[in-house]
Amino acid sequence: MKARKKLWERLTTPYRLVLLNDETFEEVTSFQLTRMNVYVLVSTVLVVMVLVTVSAIVFTPLKEYIPGYADVDTRQTVMELKLRADSMQRALEMRERYLENIRSIISGEVSPASVYDTLSQPVKRQDPAETARPSESETQLRREVEQMERFALLQQQPISLRTPSRNLFHFFLPLRGGYITQPFDEARKHFGVDLVAVENEPIKATMDGTVVFAGFTAETGYSIMLQHAQNLLSVYKHNSALLREVGDRVRAGDIIAIIGNTGEYTTGPHLHFEIWYNGIPLDPEKFLPLS
Protein backbone atom coordinates (compact mmCIF):
# COMPACT_ATOMS: atom_id res chain seq x y z
CA MET A 1 0.00 0.00 0.00
CA LYS A 2 2.79 2.35 0.90
CA ALA A 3 4.61 1.48 -2.34
CA ARG A 4 1.53 2.32 -4.43
CA LYS A 5 1.06 5.58 -2.56
CA LYS A 6 4.69 6.47 -3.05
CA LEU A 7 4.46 5.69 -6.81
CA TRP A 8 1.34 7.80 -7.15
CA GLU A 9 2.99 10.69 -5.36
CA ARG A 10 5.96 10.46 -7.74
CA LEU A 11 3.64 10.52 -10.74
CA THR A 12 1.60 13.46 -9.45
CA THR A 13 4.41 15.54 -7.97
CA PRO A 14 4.25 18.88 -9.80
CA TYR A 15 7.23 20.28 -11.68
CA ARG A 16 7.62 23.61 -13.43
CA LEU A 17 9.13 24.00 -16.82
CA VAL A 18 10.45 27.54 -17.18
CA LEU A 19 11.63 29.17 -20.38
CA LEU A 20 14.14 32.03 -19.85
CA ASN A 21 15.68 34.60 -22.17
CA ASP A 22 19.30 33.52 -22.58
CA GLU A 23 20.59 37.11 -22.51
CA THR A 24 18.43 38.80 -19.89
CA PHE A 25 17.37 35.73 -17.95
CA GLU A 26 13.87 37.10 -18.11
CA GLU A 27 11.16 34.50 -17.68
CA VAL A 28 9.30 34.09 -20.95
CA THR A 29 6.82 31.39 -20.01
CA SER A 30 6.45 28.45 -17.70
CA PHE A 31 4.52 25.17 -17.59
CA GLN A 32 3.46 23.14 -14.59
CA LEU A 33 3.88 19.46 -15.39
CA THR A 34 3.75 16.12 -13.71
CA ARG A 35 5.16 12.82 -14.80
CA MET A 36 1.63 11.57 -15.35
CA ASN A 37 0.89 14.46 -17.72
CA VAL A 38 4.05 13.77 -19.71
CA TYR A 39 3.25 10.05 -20.02
CA VAL A 40 -0.33 10.78 -21.16
CA LEU A 41 0.83 13.40 -23.66
CA VAL A 42 3.48 11.13 -25.20
CA SER A 43 1.06 8.18 -25.38
CA THR A 44 -1.61 10.35 -27.03
CA VAL A 45 0.86 11.61 -29.65
CA LEU A 46 1.98 8.06 -30.46
CA VAL A 47 -1.61 6.80 -30.80
CA VAL A 48 -2.52 9.69 -33.09
CA MET A 49 0.53 9.04 -35.28
CA VAL A 50 -0.33 5.34 -35.55
CA LEU A 51 -3.96 6.12 -36.48
CA VAL A 52 -2.89 8.66 -39.10
CA THR A 53 -0.42 6.19 -40.65
CA VAL A 54 -2.94 3.34 -40.76
CA SER A 55 -5.61 5.60 -42.25
CA ALA A 56 -3.21 6.81 -44.93
CA ILE A 57 -2.37 3.22 -45.88
CA VAL A 58 -5.95 1.95 -45.88
CA PHE A 59 -7.81 4.85 -47.48
CA THR A 60 -5.22 6.27 -49.89
CA PRO A 61 -3.23 4.85 -52.87
CA LEU A 62 -0.10 4.76 -50.70
CA LYS A 63 -0.81 1.08 -49.98
CA GLU A 64 0.13 0.23 -53.59
CA TYR A 65 3.73 1.19 -52.84
CA ILE A 66 4.02 -1.33 -50.01
CA PRO A 67 5.98 -4.41 -51.18
CA GLY A 68 3.74 -7.49 -51.42
CA TYR A 69 0.50 -5.50 -51.16
CA ALA A 70 -1.49 -5.14 -54.37
CA ASP A 71 -4.72 -3.39 -55.14
CA VAL A 72 -7.82 -5.56 -55.61
CA ASP A 73 -8.25 -4.28 -59.18
CA THR A 74 -4.59 -4.95 -59.91
CA ARG A 75 -4.82 -8.51 -58.63
CA GLN A 76 -7.99 -9.09 -60.67
CA THR A 77 -6.26 -7.75 -63.79
CA VAL A 78 -3.27 -10.02 -63.18
CA MET A 79 -5.56 -13.04 -62.84
CA GLU A 80 -7.40 -12.16 -66.05
CA LEU A 81 -4.11 -11.77 -67.91
CA LYS A 82 -2.89 -15.11 -66.56
CA LEU A 83 -6.07 -16.88 -67.69
CA ARG A 84 -5.82 -15.22 -71.10
CA ALA A 85 -2.17 -16.29 -71.43
CA ASP A 86 -3.12 -19.89 -70.58
CA SER A 87 -5.88 -19.81 -73.20
CA MET A 88 -3.49 -18.42 -75.81
CA GLN A 89 -0.95 -21.12 -74.98
CA ARG A 90 -3.55 -23.86 -75.41
CA ALA A 91 -4.74 -22.34 -78.69
CA LEU A 92 -1.13 -22.19 -79.91
CA GLU A 93 -0.57 -25.84 -78.99
CA MET A 94 -3.76 -26.82 -80.86
CA ARG A 95 -2.65 -24.87 -83.91
CA GLU A 96 0.80 -26.49 -83.86
CA ARG A 97 -0.72 -29.97 -83.63
CA TYR A 98 -3.17 -29.16 -86.43
CA LEU A 99 -0.38 -27.89 -88.69
CA GLU A 100 1.71 -30.96 -87.87
CA ASN A 101 -1.15 -33.19 -89.02
CA ILE A 102 -1.53 -31.14 -92.20
CA ARG A 103 2.21 -31.49 -92.90
CA SER A 104 1.92 -35.25 -92.41
CA ILE A 105 -0.84 -35.45 -95.01
CA ILE A 106 1.06 -33.25 -97.45
CA SER A 107 4.31 -35.19 -97.11
CA GLY A 108 2.50 -38.56 -97.33
CA GLU A 109 3.64 -39.67 -93.86
CA VAL A 110 0.16 -40.87 -92.82
CA SER A 111 0.47 -44.63 -92.21
CA PRO A 112 -2.76 -46.47 -91.27
CA ALA A 113 -0.76 -49.43 -89.90
CA SER A 114 1.30 -47.25 -87.59
CA VAL A 115 -1.81 -45.42 -86.40
CA TYR A 116 -3.52 -48.75 -85.65
CA ASP A 117 -0.48 -50.00 -83.74
CA THR A 118 -0.38 -46.80 -81.71
CA LEU A 119 -4.07 -46.94 -80.89
CA SER A 120 -3.94 -50.66 -79.99
CA GLN A 121 -1.29 -50.19 -77.30
CA PRO A 122 -2.63 -50.61 -73.73
CA VAL A 123 -3.42 -47.38 -71.97
CA LYS A 124 -2.01 -46.86 -68.49
CA ARG A 125 -4.85 -46.42 -66.04
CA GLN A 126 -4.70 -43.43 -63.76
CA ASP A 127 -6.10 -42.85 -60.33
CA PRO A 128 -9.48 -41.11 -60.71
CA ALA A 129 -8.35 -38.56 -58.15
CA GLU A 130 -5.43 -37.63 -60.38
CA THR A 131 -7.43 -37.53 -63.61
CA ALA A 132 -8.27 -33.94 -64.46
CA ARG A 133 -10.91 -32.71 -66.85
CA PRO A 134 -9.43 -32.76 -70.39
CA SER A 135 -8.60 -29.38 -71.86
CA GLU A 136 -9.92 -28.13 -75.17
CA SER A 137 -6.62 -28.94 -76.91
CA GLU A 138 -6.71 -32.54 -75.59
CA THR A 139 -10.31 -32.92 -76.80
CA GLN A 140 -9.31 -31.68 -80.26
CA LEU A 141 -6.38 -34.11 -80.36
CA ARG A 142 -8.66 -37.01 -79.44
CA ARG A 143 -11.00 -36.10 -82.29
CA GLU A 144 -8.07 -36.09 -84.72
CA VAL A 145 -6.89 -39.50 -83.48
CA GLU A 146 -10.41 -40.90 -83.85
CA GLN A 147 -10.53 -39.52 -87.40
CA MET A 148 -7.20 -41.21 -88.19
CA GLU A 149 -8.48 -44.48 -86.69
CA ARG A 150 -11.55 -44.32 -88.91
CA PHE A 151 -9.26 -43.65 -91.86
CA ALA A 152 -7.28 -46.79 -90.99
CA LEU A 153 -10.42 -48.90 -90.93
CA LEU A 154 -11.71 -47.48 -94.18
CA GLN A 155 -8.40 -48.18 -95.90
CA GLN A 156 -9.12 -51.89 -95.53
CA GLN A 157 -12.23 -51.57 -97.74
CA PRO A 158 -12.06 -51.69 -101.55
CA ILE A 159 -11.48 -48.33 -103.17
CA SER A 160 -14.72 -48.68 -105.14
CA LEU A 161 -16.73 -48.68 -101.88
CA ARG A 162 -14.96 -45.56 -100.59
CA THR A 163 -15.14 -43.44 -103.76
CA PRO A 164 -18.11 -41.06 -104.03
CA SER A 165 -20.05 -40.58 -107.23
CA ARG A 166 -18.40 -38.44 -109.89
CA ASN A 167 -21.54 -36.32 -110.21
CA LEU A 168 -21.42 -35.44 -106.51
CA PHE A 169 -18.67 -32.82 -106.95
CA HIS A 170 -17.82 -30.27 -109.63
CA PHE A 171 -14.11 -29.39 -109.84
CA PHE A 172 -12.27 -26.64 -111.69
CA LEU A 173 -9.06 -27.57 -113.53
CA PRO A 174 -6.11 -26.56 -111.32
CA LEU A 175 -3.69 -26.23 -114.27
CA ARG A 176 -4.24 -25.20 -117.87
CA GLY A 177 -2.74 -27.45 -120.52
CA GLY A 178 -1.09 -29.81 -118.01
CA TYR A 179 -0.58 -33.44 -118.85
CA ILE A 180 -0.12 -36.35 -116.47
CA THR A 181 3.37 -37.81 -116.01
CA GLN A 182 2.56 -39.97 -113.00
CA PRO A 183 -0.98 -41.15 -112.20
CA PHE A 184 -2.67 -41.86 -108.90
CA ASP A 185 -1.30 -45.05 -107.29
CA GLU A 186 -2.64 -45.89 -103.84
CA ALA A 187 -0.48 -49.02 -103.53
CA ARG A 188 2.70 -46.93 -103.88
CA LYS A 189 1.25 -44.21 -101.61
CA HIS A 190 1.19 -41.75 -104.49
CA PHE A 191 -2.09 -40.16 -103.45
CA GLY A 192 -2.37 -37.75 -106.37
CA VAL A 193 -1.35 -37.02 -109.95
CA ASP A 194 1.70 -35.19 -111.30
CA LEU A 195 0.85 -32.55 -113.90
CA VAL A 196 3.50 -30.93 -116.12
CA ALA A 197 2.94 -27.53 -117.75
CA VAL A 198 4.93 -24.57 -119.05
CA GLU A 199 7.12 -22.54 -116.70
CA ASN A 200 5.43 -19.92 -114.50
CA GLU A 201 1.99 -21.36 -115.25
CA PRO A 202 -0.53 -20.23 -112.57
CA ILE A 203 -2.22 -22.83 -110.38
CA LYS A 204 -5.90 -22.28 -109.61
CA ALA A 205 -8.24 -23.37 -106.84
CA THR A 206 -10.29 -26.35 -107.92
CA MET A 207 -13.30 -25.38 -105.75
CA ASP A 208 -14.48 -22.65 -103.40
CA GLY A 209 -12.74 -23.01 -100.07
CA THR A 210 -10.42 -21.74 -97.34
CA VAL A 211 -6.63 -21.97 -97.15
CA VAL A 212 -5.76 -24.18 -94.16
CA PHE A 213 -2.04 -24.62 -94.92
CA ALA A 214 0.42 -22.56 -96.92
CA GLY A 215 4.11 -23.15 -96.26
CA PHE A 216 7.32 -24.94 -97.10
CA THR A 217 8.35 -28.51 -96.28
CA ALA A 218 11.62 -30.23 -97.18
CA GLU A 219 9.88 -33.04 -99.09
CA THR A 220 7.14 -31.18 -100.97
CA GLY A 221 8.55 -27.64 -101.20
CA TYR A 222 6.07 -24.79 -101.28
CA SER A 223 2.67 -26.41 -100.74
CA ILE A 224 -0.84 -25.13 -100.19
CA MET A 225 -3.99 -26.91 -98.99
CA LEU A 226 -7.62 -25.83 -99.33
CA GLN A 227 -10.56 -26.94 -97.21
CA HIS A 228 -13.80 -27.21 -99.19
CA ALA A 229 -17.36 -28.06 -98.33
CA GLN A 230 -18.48 -31.67 -97.65
CA ASN A 231 -15.15 -32.61 -95.98
CA LEU A 232 -13.13 -32.17 -99.17
CA LEU A 233 -9.44 -31.18 -99.21
CA SER A 234 -7.34 -30.27 -102.23
CA VAL A 235 -3.53 -30.23 -102.04
CA TYR A 236 -1.06 -28.50 -104.40
CA LYS A 237 2.67 -29.32 -103.97
CA HIS A 238 6.12 -28.37 -105.39
CA ASN A 239 5.15 -24.77 -106.24
CA SER A 240 7.67 -22.03 -106.88
CA ALA A 241 5.59 -19.38 -105.10
CA LEU A 242 2.44 -19.22 -102.97
CA LEU A 243 -0.03 -16.38 -103.55
CA ARG A 244 -2.40 -17.06 -100.66
CA GLU A 245 -2.05 -17.26 -96.88
CA VAL A 246 -3.71 -19.37 -94.19
CA GLY A 247 -7.25 -18.18 -93.56
CA ASP A 248 -7.81 -16.67 -97.03
CA ARG A 249 -11.12 -17.44 -98.72
CA VAL A 250 -10.82 -18.40 -102.40
CA ARG A 251 -13.26 -19.17 -105.19
CA ALA A 252 -12.97 -21.81 -107.86
CA GLY A 253 -10.56 -20.59 -110.52
CA ASP A 254 -8.69 -18.12 -108.29
CA ILE A 255 -4.91 -18.20 -108.72
CA ILE A 256 -3.31 -19.55 -105.54
CA ALA A 257 0.27 -20.49 -106.58
CA ILE A 258 2.82 -20.73 -109.43
CA ILE A 259 4.04 -24.07 -110.77
CA GLY A 260 7.56 -24.95 -109.64
CA ASN A 261 10.19 -27.53 -108.78
CA THR A 262 10.69 -27.17 -105.01
CA GLY A 263 11.15 -29.98 -102.51
CA GLU A 264 13.08 -33.24 -102.45
CA TYR A 265 10.34 -35.38 -104.06
CA THR A 266 10.55 -33.74 -107.49
CA THR A 267 12.67 -34.11 -110.61
CA GLY A 268 11.33 -31.21 -112.65
CA PRO A 269 8.76 -28.41 -112.73
CA HIS A 270 5.32 -29.89 -112.16
CA LEU A 271 2.26 -29.82 -109.91
CA HIS A 272 1.44 -32.70 -107.56
CA PHE A 273 -2.33 -32.47 -107.11
CA GLU A 274 -4.34 -34.41 -104.51
CA ILE A 275 -8.01 -34.65 -103.53
CA TRP A 276 -9.04 -36.00 -100.10
CA TYR A 277 -12.60 -36.87 -99.11
CA ASN A 278 -13.33 -37.60 -95.43
CA GLY A 279 -9.65 -38.42 -94.91
CA ILE A 280 -9.55 -40.72 -97.95
CA PRO A 281 -7.44 -39.96 -101.06
CA LEU A 282 -9.34 -39.86 -104.37
CA ASP A 283 -8.04 -40.35 -107.90
CA PRO A 284 -8.27 -36.88 -109.51
CA GLU A 285 -8.56 -38.43 -112.99
CA LYS A 286 -11.99 -39.80 -112.05
CA PHE A 287 -13.33 -36.33 -111.23
CA LEU A 288 -11.47 -33.92 -113.52
CA PRO A 289 -10.95 -33.99 -117.32
CA LEU A 290 -7.15 -34.34 -117.06
CA SER A 291 -5.14 -35.30 -120.12
- Sign (positive/negative) of CA torsion 280, 286, 290, 291? positive
List CB contacts of 70: < 8 A, sequence separation 6 or more.
Answer: 64, 78
For position 236, what pLDDT does the model report?
Answer: 95
Determine the structural domain holding residue 100 and report its residue range.
72-116+136-155
For position 18, what pLDDT does the model report?
Answer: 83
Residues 274 and 177 in one domain: yes
Classify residue 164: in a domain, yes or no.
Answer: no
Residues 179 and 260 in one domain: yes
For position 129, what pLDDT does the model report?
Answer: 45
Q: Are strands 209-217 and 15-20 parallel, antiparallel or unpaired?
A: unpaired
Classify residue 53: in a domain, yes or no.
Answer: yes
- Number of structural domains in the chain: 3
Classify residue 208: in a domain, yes or no.
Answer: yes
pLDDT tens digits, one per residue of 229-256: 888 999 999 999 999 999 999 999 999 9
Residues 150 and 231 in one domain: no
Residues 255 and 282 in one domain: yes
pLDDT tens digits, one per residue of 26-83: 888 888 888 888 888 899 999 999 999 888 877 877 766 666 555 556 767 777 787 7
Classify residue 98: in a domain, yes or no.
Answer: yes
Question: At which of 10, 28, 59 does a domain end?
Answer: 59
Classify residue 242: in a domain, yes or no.
Answer: yes
pLDDT < 50 stretches in the chain: 112-116, 118-120, 122-132, 149, 151-161
Classify residue 130: in a domain, yes or no.
Answer: no
Least Cα distance to 290 among 188, 184, 202 occurs for 184
Residues 177 and 281 in one domain: yes
